[in-house]
Structure 1
Amino acid sequence: MKIINGKMFYKMSELVEQVELSNHTIAFYYKKGLLPNTVNTSKNMKYYPEITVTVLNLIKYFKDNLNFSIDYIKELFDYYRIDFDDRAELILQSIQMLSSEIKNPISKKDLDKQIVEEAIELDLVDDKDIYFKTELEVLKVYEELRSYEVASELIKEYVTTSKKLALLERELSSKVLEKTGFLPEVLILNILNSFKPYIFNRHTIIEFKKES
């Protein structure tokens, strides 16, 4: 590790050790524009900023757990204008990438205006010009649910509960940070991608079994 202008940087060999990826893989990601800019010393040694470790861990997670291709990860990075200077912002952006697939874009004007407006009012989706695959799926499910008399009230309660859960997740993250001084990005993604859905679905199954 080397201090340059008050910031920590890694050599390639140190990155390889930190993230357990080969130097060829890391170099490939760098050429694809997935990593922050390096600093070259007078000895022509290339140093990678500390946040590179976080970026590489996120790329590994997307590839290994979500089967995202490198080209799609690049597309995500470009769309969300990844912030290589702020680790906290980078993790927030990674949550956005996890929760919303930027595929099959459809313009807001080409969607059912009333459905979109109601979904925005219920805080199911953001008010934006372009909607992607995951958001379109939410809109489709909402359209199917709204034909049932009590659906709107139940959806409002669902959103309210989700907001309460979000506060609990932020508190959990704060506790981890307070305890360790560091917030593992992979832990956050695992909570969102596997831990939370499993617990939700498990208890949904338990409730349905009670009725049957």
Structure 2
Amino acid sequence: MLELKQINKSFNGQPVLVDINVTIEDGKTLAIVGPSGAGKTTLLRIISGLETADSGTMIWNGQPTTAQALRKEGVIGVVFQNFELFPNLSVMRNITLAPTLQGVDQKKADETARKLLDRLELVAQENAYPYSLSGGQKQRVAIARALALNPQILLYDEPTSALDPLLRENVAALVNQFKASGMTQVVVTHDMDFAESVADTTYHVGKGGDGQ
């Protein structure tokens, strides 16, 4: 279980997050929702270690920690809003790059990637490059890349923002599939219908940066 307590963040003196308290339960899916500009993505970036809170505490399984430490330990994986795939690398290499940089044998990384490609219905795209993929395929490659590091918590930043309604349903099905397998997930979204279709619990971030 991951707990965030009294998280505060300001930019240029303007409060973005104020006294945020969030509990991310093991095996559950938490949706972080709220209006545009409320700080949802900032909160996700703090959880992922891409942004540092001004104050507050993060607790992992009862022990104080930092998001940076959790990323280094492979606890957290991130699926970015704009996918952030490397355009000069094939789908396979996009998925295997991070594991091999962390010392995983190339053959083992390839085996894991192929299992993920099969699971996410991307086998035919193994040697394709990002420019040739549809939005839904890019989304699934981004998910596969995050899963390749075998994280305990998977974070999604607006996973349906660039997708049409049918693909949104496909992403919801994937999130629920991962939940059924025991994956802990956090989804930042402005799409309340999507949030309701995947979340066990919902955390609302308000315009003033406060949450509930």
TM-score, normalisation: structure 2: 0.26
Q: Which has the higher strand share?
A: 2
More relative contact order, 1 or 2 (CA 8 Å, 6+ apart): 2
Larger Rg: 1
